[in-house]
């Protein structure tokens, strides 16, 4: 009787294992466990924050099965801080696994800054890229406030404390101060491109006047490594990652709100694309 129970238990256990195997087989998970992976991270719209991208890059780094990372970029750039943080993280990750950047319709200014950190950059011939430069936005409401009879009184601790206030124009001294800061941030961009692309800094300065470049011209100037689309970038990522078979593509799981879906329907990646720029420096191309 004891042997019969053990036999029934064994058969039941084997049956459960087979059921689980069949379930996983239907879902494809058994094969995916054996398949090597490429992590695909999409950077779309204005780069206002780095938090989500950094978290996703970290997850790709920690996944042993992911042998390469592919950045699919379609962005006009964004804030200086966020662009620099993502650039720095990509540089760090490429020490452990290769990173390939695939430039879509637009990958300009801060978006190109991010792409620079990749091992290889691919762009379509008609991709809009480059725009190596910095911009800062101010809104001067002084004349409007005067017309509607509103006065603003400011008490401050230093002559520069309310620099950039929308309630008055900039003084010559403030313009000089901000221009100096802007030039410094611009120099950081130039150095990043020179370092990442292994180009003489003087060569980078020649085109670092904010001009847009086509993917074809960027290739000629050695700002990108190859002309090609997403599939070409996958091929390069596969080669650099030493992947022999057909890789599985892994995309981060992002929460998609109704608002984001509506904005993407208008060709915008985020709410920030519609809003005026916040106070600060931007690596961005406006169109």
Active site residues: 109, 161
In this structure, the number of other CB atoms found within 10 A of the CB of residue 128 comes to 23
- DSSP run (H or E) holding 39: strand 37-44
Residues facing 248 on adjacent strands:
37
In this structure, the number of other CB atoms found within 10 A of the CB of residue 111 comes to 33
How many angstroms separate the CA atoms of 71 and 90, rounded?
Answer: 10
How many angstroms separate the CA atoms of 153 and 239, rounded?
Answer: 63
∠80-200-216 over CA atoms, to 5°?
A: 75
Cβ proximity of 254 and 107 under 8 Å: no
Cβ-in-10-Å burial (0-12, 13-18, 19+) of 236 comes to buried
Tell me, rounded to whole angstroms, the distance of Cα 194 from its chain centroid.
19
């Amino acid at each position: 009787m004891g042997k019969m129970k053990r036999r029934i238990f064994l058969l039941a256990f084997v049956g459960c294992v087979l059921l689980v195997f069949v379930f996983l087989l239907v879902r494809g998970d058994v094969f995916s466990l054996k398949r090597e992976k490429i992590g695909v991270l999409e950077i779309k719209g204005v780069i206002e924050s780095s938090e989500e991208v950094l978290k996703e890059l970290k997850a790709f780094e920690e996944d042993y099965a992911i042998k390469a990372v592919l950045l699919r970029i379609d962005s006009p750039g964004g804030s200086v801080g966020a662009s620099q943080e993502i650039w720095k993280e990509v540089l760090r990750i490429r020490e452990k696994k290769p990173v390939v950047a695939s430039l879509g319709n637009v990958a300009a200014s801060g978006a190109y800054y991010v792409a620079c950190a990749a091992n290889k950059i691919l762009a379509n011939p008609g991709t809009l890229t480059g725009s190596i430069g910095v911009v800062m936005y101010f809104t001067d409401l002084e004349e409007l406030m005067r017309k509607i009879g509103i006065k603003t009184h400011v008490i401050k601790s230093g002559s520069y404390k309310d620099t950039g206030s929308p309630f008055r124009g900039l003084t010559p001294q403030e313009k000089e101060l901000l221009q100096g800061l802007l030039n410094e941030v611009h120099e950081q961009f130039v150095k990043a491109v020179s370092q990442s692309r292994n180009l003489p800094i003087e060569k980078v300065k020649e085109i670092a006047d904010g001009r847009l470049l086509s993917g074809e011209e960027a290739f000629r100037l050695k700002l990108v490594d190859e002309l090609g689309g997403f599939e070409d970038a996958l091929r390069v990522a596969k080669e650099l990652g030493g992947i022999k078979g057909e890789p599985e593509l892994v995309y981060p799981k992002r929460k998609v709100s109704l608002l984001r879906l509506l904005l993407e329907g208008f060709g915008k990646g985020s709410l920030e694309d519609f809003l005026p720029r916040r106070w600060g420096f931007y690596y961005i191309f406006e169109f």
